[in-house]
Structure 1
C-alpha cells in the first residue's frame, strides 16, 4: 500500500512518513532523519519500531545483515535494559536512542547501528518513590532457572534489597518470566555467545547481591559491607575477592580529583553522616557496573547489525524519552533532575522543529529577496526556555557573593547547577537562591539593565520548598521541579570508574574478554559514553557525536555530570541537522494513556479495557498542539512556499518537459530564464511560484504536480523507446526466421533430388568409381612432386 508511493498518494500514516524519507533519500542522495517528539506514553518508541520495520521490509537487506527479526531482538534487549515503569508510563524509555540504517547505491539496507545517549543510569540505585528499577532485573529474577540460577546464586531472594523491591503480583511475575524467555531468544538471534551472555548475567546478578549486601560504618569509622555473605556472592560473580571488592568500593585509589565528589562532602552537608557516604560509594560502583553491562549489550547488538558493504546514504531514527509531567499523574513532590534532562532534550527538539519550519524558511526567503507574509509565524520561540536552561556565561566561572556580580550576566540553570556542585559549602538552598536571583522574580529589577533573549516568568519559584516551575512547551505545560539532592546527583562519583577496572581485572575469562573489547568511557547519573560505537563501520556518518563530546568546551567540562547533558544534546542536534529532517509528533490522548496495558489485538475486544482507555482529554490535546506549533506549521505550509529547488537543479530535472526546439543549446545558459520558461510552458500560475536569486519556490502541491507531469513525459518517452526496441527486435527475429525458412527449403529440395537419383545405376557406378579415381589422382600427384624436387634443387 505504501511501498513505492509518492507523498500525495498515501494516507496519513507512520509508514507514509517512512516512505517519504526513503523516497527523498533515493531521489536526492541526501541523508534523512526521522525525529519523534511528544509526551511520555504517547507512543514514540512503538512508532519508531514501526518505521524501522517498514524500512527494512520495503528496502530489503543485503544477505540478511539487517532483518526484522534482528530489529525486534534489539528492541527487546534495549527495552529490558533501558526501560522502566514510571508513574506516567508502564514501559517508559529512560534513554535516547539513535538508530541509523545505511543503504547502498541500490537502496537496500547494508548495515545498521544503534547509539544510546543520556541513559538514566542512576535509576538502578535510586528513583522516585513508588517506581521500580529497570525491567531486566525483575525479568532475570523471575525467569532464570536451573543451573544458571544456581551459578548466579539467586536461589533464596527473601532478604531486603536496597536497590529494588520484588514483584508482588503473580501476573507480574508471569509476565517477567515470559519476557526473560524473549531476552534469551533475542540474544540467540543477535548471535550472542554463551560466554558473553553469561558475563552480562553475572554483572546483573552481582548488582542484585550488592543491593542485599548494603554498606555500613565499622570499627575506626571504616566502611564495609553490612552483609558479607551477599558481598561474597557478588565478588565471586565478578571474579574477585571480597577484600578486593571492598577496597575498590570503599577505598578507591582515584588520585587527585579536580572536582568535588561524594568522598569529600561539603561542610554542613551530611558532613557527619558516614553511613550515607558509604552507601553513596556503593551506589556509584553499582552505577558503573550497570553502565558497563548496558554498553556491552549495545556493542554486541551493533556487531550483529554491522557489515563491510559500501554504503551511500542513511536514514536516522531518533527516539527520546517523552516529555515528563509527573504532576499530571498524581505525583505532587515535583519532578527530578533526570526528568529535567529529558524535558530539556524535548525542548531542544522542539526548538529544532521551530528553526526548521519557521526560522529557516524566513531566512531563506530573505536571502532570496522573496516577499512572503508570515501570518502564521509563531510568536513564542522555544529558544527562550532553552537558553534559560543551558545558556553559557561568556565570563569566567566565578561564584560571586554579592548581588552586583550575580546580576552581571545571566547563566543557564545547568551552568548554575554545575558551579554550585563544585563549590565547597554549597547547599540546595544556595542553589535555589542563585537560580531565582538569575531567573526568578529578581530579574524583573534588572530587566532594563541588560539585554537577553529570555522571556520573563519562564522560571518562577514553586509552591514547595526548594522547588521552581518551568513553563515548558511555550508556556502550555508548567512543570514543578524539586531540587532536593540535585547537588549530590551532579557531583562526580569517583567510585563509578572503579567498576570498569574490576571487570577488566576479573578472574572470570568471559568477563575480562567481553569488557576489554567494548572498553569505553563511563560516566554517572543520566549521562555517559556514546554506547556501542566502537568498531562499527555503520557509524562513520555520526562520528561527530564523539568528536563534539570530547573536544572544545565539552572536553574541558566532560567531567561535569549536568553539563554532559547539554554537550550530548548539542552533538545529537548537530548530527541530525546535517540531514533532511522529518518530524513525527505523538499526541497523548489523556494523562493516563501511558498506563494502559498494550492490547494484543485491535480486532478482539479486551475484557480489561475501560472507558478511560478510549477517553480523549480535549484541553490536554489542545495544549500539546499549541505547544508543539502544529497548527502554525500547517498554516505556514499552506500559505508559504515550502518546496524549493536551485535553478540549475530545476533546469536539469524538468528540461524534459520542453519541446526539443525550445531547449537551450548554447555553452552558457541563463538558468533562471530557462526555469521561468519551463514554468510558463507548463502553465503554472504565477501566484503558485516565486523566483528568487538562485532558487525557485513553490506552494504546497505544485512541485508534486510538476513531478507527475515529468513522470508522465518520461513514461511516454520510455514507452516510445520500448516501442522502437520491440520493433527492432521483432524485425531481427523475422529476418532470422526468413533465412531459416530459405535454408530449410534448400535442404528439402536437395534431399528430394538425392532421393530421386540414389537408385540410378549411373549414380551407383559413380559412387564406386570415385574413391578409385581419388587414389589414382593421389599417386600421380606424388610422382609429380618427386620429379619436381630435383629440378627445384638444381635451380
Structure 2
C-alpha cells in the first residue's frame, strides 16, 4: 500500500525531481529554481541580514543587494539607453546608491566587501563615508544633513543651514540620492523609511504633483486648491494611454480594463481622515468612468450630477473640513457587455441626524438650509415665509453661518437646476422645500409652563403656525402632539403632559425624522432615474466614499459609529494587501515573503464581541428602564477594562485605541441617540397631514413596524445594530470585488494650500499602512499566472521546439531563454510568481515578436508577387528577342515573306504588351477589391449604426410604454383607494349624523321645556325667550344645512376632491358644534337663573299670607 506521503506527490513533482537529479551535476548557477517538494518549500529565501531599525518598525528595504534585485533595477534602467550609459559613465564605486552600476563593473563580491547593502542597517557605512542622512529634531521635524563626526552611540550631523546637531545613531536613517527626489512610485526609492517617504511626498506636493504610487496604493494629497488635473484634456490623455503617471484616472482606467478583460467586478476604496479629499477623489473617479462608458442616453451626465444633491443634503462644515460628508456613500456603476454605462445605484449609511438640531461651536448644519435661506426666489420665500438663517434657532446656535469663498445663493440655483435634471417635478420640489422650512420653523417653537409640576405646552406663536402650515396640519393638532402623549392602560388612554425637556426632545425628534426621511426620499428619486437597464451584464465598478476617521475634543455616538466603520474598512485593506497575499504564498509553497503589519482584529473584537462587547453592552442598556449615560459608562468600564484596546477614564468618558490613534468618547446622549424613536402621536399626525411627503414618511414608518423584530428595518432595532448590519452587508459585497485602494492625505489642519505639517502627514502614513504595502510589493511577487496560462501566452517565444508538452517545462524554458534571474520569480505548485516589472519585459518581447512576424509575412507576400512579375517579363523579353532574330533571318530570303514577318512582329509586340500589362492589371484588380472592401465596411458600419439607433428608439418607446402602464396602474389604484375612502367617509358621516341626532335630542327636549315654562314670564323673560327661539331656529337651519351637504357629498363623486370636501365639512361641523355648545350653555344658565328669580318672587308673595294658609290647615304660624 502506498503511503500518504507518496500519494501526496503529484506526477508533475516526480517529473521535476527526475529532471533535477539528471541536471544536478552540471547545472548552471543562473538556472531558475525548480518546483519544491511538498510540504517544505525550497524557494529562494530572503537574506536574514536585513533587519528593521529598532525604533521604527516600518522602515525596511527590500532584499539585500542580491542578484535578483539588482537585475530588476537593471531591467528598469535599460529601458532608457541614454540613462543607462550616463549612469555607467558617472558611477562612483564607493557610493551605496549605485548598486546596479557597481555590480555591473566589479560584481557582487566588491559590494559585500565594502558593506554596501541596500537595507537600512548599513548606517555604519553612511557614517564612515559621511554621506547624507535623515535625523529627527526635538520638535519632531525630519531634516537631512551629512555626518560630521561620531562619539560612541551619538552622531553629529551637519545641517544645510550650517548648524550641527547631536542625534542618537539609532535615530539616523539613510537618505536617497537627490536624483531620486520626486519619483512617482515609492517603490523606486533606494531606501524606504519614514523620512524618505515623507520627503518624497513633500517634494511632489510643493510642485502640485499630488498623486504618488506606493505599490498597489495610490496616495492623493489634498492640495486645497484647483491644480488643473481633471480637465477633459487630462481625461483624453489617460484614455489614450499617453501617460503612466499616477492619477485617480489611472486607477479608474485599470479597474475598467480588468472588469472588461476578466469579467470581475471592481471596487475603488477611498480612505483618509476628514478633510483629506475623499469626496473630491470619488467625484474624479466617477467623472473618468463616465467618460469611458458614456452612452447616448445621458445617464453618465446624470451620475455626475448626483453629487450636487447629495452634498447639499449630506455635507456640512465641521472644525476639520469645510465640506465634510456626514454620511456614507456607496455608488455602483453598472456596464453593458460593450463597456457602456447602463445604470447606477446609490446606497447611503448613517446620516448624522443630530446635526439638524445640535451644532458645535464653529460648525454649520447641512448646506441646504443656508442655501435655501440665501438663494430662494422671492415667490418661494413668500410661500414658505422664509427668513434669514440667523433668525432660526437650529442654525443660529453656532456662530458660523457662512463659509469663506462659498456663495450659498449661487449654489442653491445650481441645486434647483440639478433637481430638474433628475426630473423632479415643480410640485415635488415645492413640497421638499416646505419640509425644509418646516424643520427650521420647528426649531423656533417655544414652550411655556402651565402648572407647578413643570408641565409645558407649545406656545401659539408664529413658529407653531408656520410649522403646521408647512407640514400640512392644523396648528392645534401640532401643539397637542408636541405637548402631550397618550398612554394606554387597562382603564383606557391617559393623556400625559410633557415636561420641558420631554417637549424639546419630541420637537427635535420630529425635525430629525422629517429631514432624514426627506434625504432618503431624494436618494430614492435619484435611484429611480438611474435604474439599471435591461442591458446589464452583472459587471460593475463600485466607489466607496465613507466618512473618515474622526477625533475631536468631545466625541459622541456619531464618532463612535464612524470610527467603528473605519476599523472594518482598515481590516478589509489589511486582508487584501497583506493577509490574502501571504496566505496564497504559503498555500502554493512560496516561502521567504513576510511583512509585519498592524492587525486591528483586537479592536474589532472590542466592538463586536458577544455578549461582552461595546455594541452588545450598548444595546443591552437600551432596553433597561434604569439605565442612563452614567450607568452605561460604568458598565463598560467594569466589563471591558481587561481588554487591550479599551481604556477607562473618569466620569462618563472611556477610550478606544483605534488603528489611527486613541479616541476618548463621552457617553452623554449615547442611549438617546442609539434609540432614535418617534412618538406614535407624531406618526399619526403626519399620516393625517394634507401634504403627500409627510403621509409618505408616516406610511414608511408604519410599514417598518410590521417588520419582524430581527429585521434591520424594524424600529425595535437600535441605531448601532442597524448600522452594524448594513456595514456587514457592505463588506460582503466588497469581498466579491477586486479592490483598488486610494489613500487620501490631509497635509495641514488649517485647510490652506501650500502648507505641509510633518507630524500630521507622518501620523496618517503610519496609520494607513502605506509603508508596509510598499515593502510587501518590493519583497513580493505581485504578478502571478498559472503554468498553463504562462505557457499559452509566451510559449511561442521559444526558438527551439520543446519536446515536453508539460506547461511548466515550457514556462521554465521561456524564462531560461530570456536569461531571467532566479530572484526575479518563484515557481509554486500551481502558479508562477513574478517580480514587479518582469511581466512588462515579457509583454514587450511578445509584442516585438508578433510585430516582426507580421512584417515577415507581408514581406513574403510581396516577394512572391515580385518574383511572378519578374518571370513574366523575362519570358516576354526572350520571346521578343527570338522573334526579332527570326525576322532578320527571314528578311534575307525573300520579300514575299514580308507580310508574314510583319504579322509575326505585331503578334510579338502584342504578347510583349500583354506581359508588361500584367502588373497593372493586378494592381487595378487589387485596388478594385480594396475599394469594394471599403464600401462593404462603410455600408456595414452604416447599417450597424442605423440598427443601434433603431434599437435605442425601440428601448425608449418600450420605456415610455412601461412608464405609461405604471402611471395607469397607479391612477387605477388611486381611484380605487379614493372610492374606498369615499365609502368610509360616507359611513363616518352617517355615523356622525346619527350621533348628532342623539346629541341634539336632549337639547331639543330641554329647549322645549324651557319654552313651555316661560309662557307666563315677564316682558324681560319674553325677550330672553326670543333669544332661545332664535337659538332653536339656528339649530334647525344648521341641521338642515349639514344634512343637505352630507347628502350632496356622499353621492358618487366624479372628481378626486370629494374626500377633501368631506374632511372640510367634518372640520366645519366640529367648529360649529363647539361654538353652539358654548352658546347653548350660556342660554341654559340664563334660563335657570330666571327660574330661580321667579321662584323667589313666588316665595315672597306667599310668605305674608302664610298665616292664613296655616290657619286653613289648622296650624299655628310659629
Q: Contact 1:205–1:234 (CA<8 Å) still a contact in 2?
A: yes
Supply the distance in 1 between the matched residues of 2:715 and 2:791 (Cα, whole angstroms). Answer: 49
1:59 to partner: Cα distance = 3.2
Deviations 1:302-337 (A, max 9, x none): 2333342412311111001121122xxxxx3x2111
Supply the distance in 1 between the matched residues of 2:762 and 2:926 (Cα, whole angstroms). Answer: 80
Supply the distance in 2 between the matched residues of 1:510 and 1:3 (Cα, whole angstroms). Answer: 45
Shift of the 170–315 alpha-carbon distance from structure 1 to 2, 3 Å rule, reads closer
Q: Does 1:618 align with 2:776?
A: no
Shift of the 426–740 alpha-carbon distance from structure 1 to 2, 3 Å rule, reads closer
Where 2:743 maps in the other structure, the secondary structure is strand
Where 1:237 maps in the other structure, the secondary structure is helix
1:139 to partner: Cα distance = 0.8
Q: Does 1:630 align with 2:770?
A: yes
Supply the distance in 2 between the matched residues of 1:579 and 1:499 (Cα, whole angstroms). Answer: 43
Does 497-506 or 614-623 show the bigger shift?
497-506
Supply the distance in 1 between the matched residues of 2:457 and 2:583 (Cα, whole angstroms). Answer: 62
1:216 to partner: Cα distance = 5.4
Supply the distance in 1 between the matched residues of 2:317 and 2:573 (Cα, whole angstroms). Answer: 29
Equivalent in the alignment of 1:3: 238
1:654 to partner: Cα distance = 4.0
Supply the distance in 2 between the matched residues of 1:147 and 1:553 (Cα, whole angstroms). Answer: 44
Equivalent in the alignment of 1:565: 723
Equivalent in the alignment of 1:527: none
Shift of the 187–343 alpha-carbon distance from structure 1 to 2, 3 Å rule, reads same
Normalised TM-score (structure 2): 0.52
1:465 to partner: Cα distance = 2.8
Supply the distance in 1 between the matched residues of 2:402 and 2:809 (Cα, whole angstroms). Answer: 75
Supply the distance in 2 between the matched residues of 1:722 and 1:551 (Cα, whole angstroms). Answer: 74
1:503 to partner: Cα distance = 5.3
Deviations 1:472-516 (A, max 9, x none): 22xx52222211221222124133x8777655554235766x769
Supply the distance in 2 between the matched residues of 1:740 and 1:573 (Cα, whole angstroms). Answer: 61
Supply the distance in 2 between the matched residues of 1:200 and 1:470 (Cα, whole angstroms). Answer: 40
Deviations 1:721-741 (A, max 9, x none): 888999999999955946999
Q: Contact 1:199–1:511 (CA<8 Å) still a contact in 2?
A: no
Q: Contact 1:203–1:289 (CA<8 Å) still a contact in 2?
A: yes
Q: Contact 2:260–2:339 (CA<8 Å) still a contact in 1?
A: yes
User: If you compute each CA radius of gyration, which structure gives the higher value, 1 or 2?
Assistant: 2
From 20, 27, 32, give the equivalent of 2:261: 27
1:231 to partner: Cα distance = 2.3
Supply the distance in 1 between the matched residues of 2:749 and 2:285 (Cα, whole angstroms). Answer: 25
Shift of the 734–23 alpha-carbon distance from structure 1 to 2, 3 Å rule, reads farther
Where 1:137 maps in the other structure, the secondary structure is helix
Q: Does 1:412 align with 2:613?
A: yes
Shift of the 128–635 alpha-carbon distance from structure 1 to 2, 3 Å rule, reads same
Please show how residues 304-343 of structure 1 align to structure 2 within 5 Å. Answer: 304-312=529-537, 313-326=539-552, 332=553, 334-343=554-563
From 704, 715, 722, give the equivalent of 2:840: 704
Supply the distance in 1 between the matched residues of 2:744 and 2:405 (Cα, whole angstroms). Answer: 31
Shift of the 584–253 alpha-carbon distance from structure 1 to 2, 3 Å rule, reads farther
Equivalent in the alignment of 1:487: 671
Equivalent in the alignment of 2:596: 377
Supply the distance in 2 between the matched residues of 1:714 and 1:554 (Cα, whole angstroms). Answer: 57
Supply the distance in 2 between the matched residues of 1:300 and 1:702 (Cα, whole angstroms). Answer: 49
1:519 to partner: Cα distance = 8.6
Q: Contact 1:337–1:486 (CA<8 Å) still a contact in 2?
A: yes
Equivalent in the alignment of 2:820: 684
Q: Contact 1:250–1:282 (CA<8 Å) still a contact in 2?
A: no
From 458, 465, 483, give the equivalent of 1:232: 465
Shift of the 157–127 alpha-carbon distance from structure 1 to 2, 3 Å rule, reads closer
Where 1:616 maps in the other structure, the secondary structure is coil
Q: Does 1:105 align with 2:331?
A: no
Equivalent in the alignment of 2:516: 291
Supply the distance in 2 between the matched residues of 1:31 and 1:568 (Cα, whole angstroms). Answer: 20
Please show how residues 531-546 of structure 1 align to structure 2 within 5 Å. Answer: none
Please show how residues 283-682 of structure 1 align to structure 2 within 5 Å. Answer: 283-312=508-537, 313-326=539-552, 332=553, 334-374=554-594, 376-378=595-597, 380-393=598-611, 411-440=612-641, 443=642, 456=644, 458-462=645-649, 465-473=651-659, 477-495=661-679, 505-509=688-692, 559-593=717-751, 596=752, 613-655=753-795, 657-658=797-798, 661-662=801-802, 670-682=806-818
Supply the distance in 2 between the matched residues of 1:644 and 1:739 (Cα, whole angstroms). Answer: 47
Supply the distance in 1 between the matched residues of 2:669 and 2:603 (Cα, whole angstroms). Answer: 23
Supply the distance in 1 between the matched residues of 2:749 and 2:388 (Cα, whole angstroms). Answer: 39
1:284 to partner: Cα distance = 1.7
Where 1:99 maps in the other structure, the secondary structure is strand
Equivalent in the alignment of 2:50: none
Q: Contact 1:291–1:522 (CA<8 Å) still a contact in 2?
A: no
Normalised TM-score (structure 1): 0.72
Q: Which runs of 5+ in 1 are unaligned?
A: 257-262, 265-271, 327-331, 394-410, 444-453, 524-548, 597-612, 742-795
Supply the distance in 2 between the matched residues of 1:687 and 1:255 (Cα, whole angstroms). Answer: 78
Q: Contact 2:370–2:401 (CA<8 Å) still a contact in 1?
A: no
Supply the distance in 2 between the matched residues of 1:96 and 1:504 (Cα, whole angstroms). Answer: 29
From 59, 77, 80, give the equivalent of 2:293: 59
Where 2:268 maps in the other structure, the secondary structure is strand
1:720 to partner: Cα distance = 6.9
1:94 to partner: Cα distance = 0.3
Q: Which runs of 5+ in 2 are unaligned?
A: 1-233, 490-494, 867-917, 929-1118
Supply the distance in 2 between the matched residues of 1:483 and 1:696 (Cα, whole angstroms). Answer: 54
Where 2:297 maps in the other structure, the secondary structure is helix
Deviations 1:388-446 (A, max 9, x none): 122233xxxxxxxxxxxxxxxxx221221111222121122222222222332xx1xxx
Q: Does 1:275 align with 2:500?
A: yes
Does 675-684 or 313-322 show the bigger shift?
675-684
Supply the distance in 2 between the matched residues of 1:582 and 1:639 (Cα, whole angstroms). Answer: 20
1:684 to partner: Cα distance = 3.3
Supply the distance in 2 between the matched residues of 1:661 and 1:4 (Cα, whole angstroms). Answer: 39
1:614 to partner: Cα distance = 2.3
From 829, 832, 847, give the equivalent of 1:693: 829
Where 2:820 maps in the other structure, the secondary structure is coil
1:191 to partner: Cα distance = 2.2
Structure with bigger RCO (C-alpha 8 Å, 6+ apart) = 1
Shift of the 633–494 alpha-carbon distance from structure 1 to 2, 3 Å rule, reads same
Equivalent in the alignment of 1:776: none
Q: Contact 2:369–2:436 (CA<8 Å) still a contact in 1?
A: yes
Q: Contact 2:305–2:418 (CA<8 Å) still a contact in 1?
A: yes
Shift of the 414–231 alpha-carbon distance from structure 1 to 2, 3 Å rule, reads same
Equivalent in the alignment of 2:891: none
Shift of the 739–175 alpha-carbon distance from structure 1 to 2, 3 Å rule, reads closer
Supply the distance in 1 between the matched residues of 2:381 and 2:861 (Cα, whole angstroms). Answer: 71
Supply the distance in 1 between the matched residues of 2:861 and 2:481 (Cα, whole angstroms). Answer: 79
From 354, 372, 385, give the equivalent of 1:122: 354
1:92 to partner: Cα distance = 0.7
CA RMSD of aligned residues (A): 3.9
Q: How many residues matched?
A: 634
1:81 to partner: Cα distance = 0.3
Q: Does 1:178 align with 2:410?
A: yes
Q: Contact 1:647–1:671 (CA<8 Å) still a contact in 2?
A: yes
Shift of the 174–647 alpha-carbon distance from structure 1 to 2, 3 Å rule, reads closer
Supply the distance in 2 between the matched residues of 1:635 and 1:735 (Cα, whole angstroms). Answer: 63
Does 288-297 or 57-66 show the bigger shift?
57-66
